[in-house]
Chain A
Amino acid sequence: MSIKVTGLTYVYMKGTPFEKIALDNIDLSIETGEFVGIIGHTGSGKSTLVQHFNGLLKPTSGSVYINGEKLEGKRARELKRQVGIVFQYPEHQLFEETVYKDIAFGLIKRGEEENEIDKKVRKTVRMVGLSEDILDKSPFELSGGQKRRVAMAGILVLEPSILVLDEPAAGLDPRGRDEIFELISNLHKSNKMTVVLVSHSMEDVAKYVERVVVMNKGRIEMCGPVRSVFNKIDELERIGLAAPQITYLMKRLKEKIPEINDNILTVGEAKAELEKYIRKA
């Protein structure tokens, strides 16, 4: 499933003194099976942009297409279902008595059959790396990491073909962070899901996504493969962003050791590059 956005403008509180242009004439297309990262400052419009993907916000002007079909009218309901958005701190939306009921919420709303629901809930719980024992517990007695997985399961159980995640690892410890990204990465690779990751963390974006969209003040500032975007450090810094820390380290190292490659985005790449250098030396 692909997403295409053309001439999208969104104005908050239109017609009041608090009026603010959140998105200014955005053109963007995300292809089927892509893993795209959206980065930008707080207030740059990234969250506003993704909320248009499943019709939570309606464009002030411009249009959104899901798989080539315009997101409006009769088909809108069907198209919206293809896009699952996991919000920041999704565990704050848990409310049911048991984990099972919470995950099944969306399916029950859709009016699916009971044994079908049961099958899907159990499959999804395993998919997010939890055991089925957890299903009868109250979501409020779980640990932070578990809650987040349950909340994500609540979206994944609806089997969206496009998954949008807004800061999925915020507030998790380093291990929980790795596990969540492992899960997302898996969904992308084995389930062929189109994934859109909204994040502040340059490290996470550099490590997992294929293409980056850089947003600034409601406009798309840059857009391209991760490597080429993070290579333009000056431009990123001008709008208050940065490259991953390891990239800076490698650039400093290159000043001393000119023969190494400084176009490095992750610690893993850096390690390989340095080992190669040491072996040669």
Chain B
Amino acid sequence: MIKDITLGQYFPGDSLIHRADPRVKIILTLVIMTNIFLIDSYLAFAVFAGFIAMAVFIGKIPFAYTLKGLKPIMPIIVFTALVNIFTNPGILLAGYGPVRITYEGIDTAAKMSLRLVLLIMSSSIMTLTTTPISLTDGLERILSPLKHLKVPVHEFSMMMTVALRFIPTLLEETDKIMKAQASRGADFETGNMFERAKSFIPVLIPLFVSAFRRADDLALAMEHAAIEVEREEQG
């Protein structure tokens, strides 16, 4: 039922990009993303688009997969583009009464959309070629100098690892509960928005109960494995 959700959307492979150190990928992605915000000429956009296309090619990721990440934010892109087309003052191209389409409007809208698309695609490439666990690992190692400033980097990355680890588990659980409730007559697909939201109550309550149960079990297991010791020694 919810198999279409690909969170932690790792796409298995053995390309150069897959094998690269996660730190390299994180830093490079950050650099690219910052640059996408700074550039302002179509030539620069073309260069970055080419670079990203190359990464997709080297990473041997099916093109459809990289576009999948764009789907959920498509409404945002369209909305931003429309707002920009209609609200920018400048050389009038077409207009009727208060509705004015200007050259500057189209220009900003195009750049804004390109920017958003490239941002999403560049971060998708990172998540598609790196397992969530090696991502957090990489993040921990990048941030490790902060340990000297008493920032609990290790604890944070442990929290992230645990959270990531439980996403598939909870998705599976959600799927199971939805099926169980559907078996006794629950209907998640018909009705208006309000009714559909309400129909998820029989899924959410059991899901919360089970998440707490799991958290409790995990906390107990971690305490037994003496994962807290480190903090006690420091404090």
Contacts and interface: CB of A to CB of B under 8 A. Distances in A.
Interface stretch (A103-111, A200-208, A221-229): A103-111
Given A17-B12, A94-B206, A109 B182 contact: no
Interface in B1-41: 1, 3, 11-12
Given A105-B185, A106-B185, A109-B186, A92 B179 contact: no
A247 interface: no
B205 A54 contact: no
A124 B200 CA distance: 25
Nearest to A111: B185
Interface in B188-207: 201-202, 205-206
B210 interface: yes
Contact of A87 (B12, B176, B185, B209): B176
A85 B176 CA distance: 12
Nearest to B179: A56
B11 A87 contact: no
Contacts of A84: 183-184
Nearest to A97: B205
Contact of B180 (A93, A110, A140): A93
Given A17-B11, A105-B202, A90 B180 contact: yes
B186 A87 contact: no
A85 B182 CA distance: 10
Given A106-B184, A155-B183, A158-B185, A95 B3 contact: no
A155 B11 CA distance: 39
Contact of B206 (A17, A95, A107, A110): A95
A56 B182 contact: yes
Interface residues of B, number: 21
Nearest to A83: B183
A58 to B, nearest CB: 11
Nearest to A12: B3
A98 interface: no
B181 interface: yes
Contacts of A54: 183
A258 B180 CA distance: 50
B186 to A, nearest CB: 6
Contact of B201 (A12, A51, A95): A95
Nearest to A54: B183
Nearest to A51: B179
Nearest to A18: B12
A122 B206 CA distance: 24
B117 to A, nearest CB: 23
Interface in A36-92: 51, 54, 56, 84-85, 87, 90, 92
B187 A109 contact: yes
Contacts of B12: 17
A109 B185 contact: yes
A85 B185 CA distance: 11
* Top 10 A-B pairs, shortest CB-CB distance: A106-B185, A95-B205, A109-B185, A106-B184, A93-B180, A85-B183, A87-B180, A56-B179, A95-B202, A95-B206
23 contacts: A13-B3, A51-B179, A56-B182, A85-B180, A87-B179, A92-B177, A92-B180, A92-B206, A93-B177, A93-B180, A93-B206, A95-B201, A95-B206, A106-B185, A106-B186, A107-B185, A109-B185, A109-B186, A110-B185, A140-B209, A154-B184, A158-B184, A158-B185
Interface of A: 12-13, 17, 51, 54, 56, 84-85, 87, 90, 92-95, 105-107, 109-110, 140, 154-155, 158
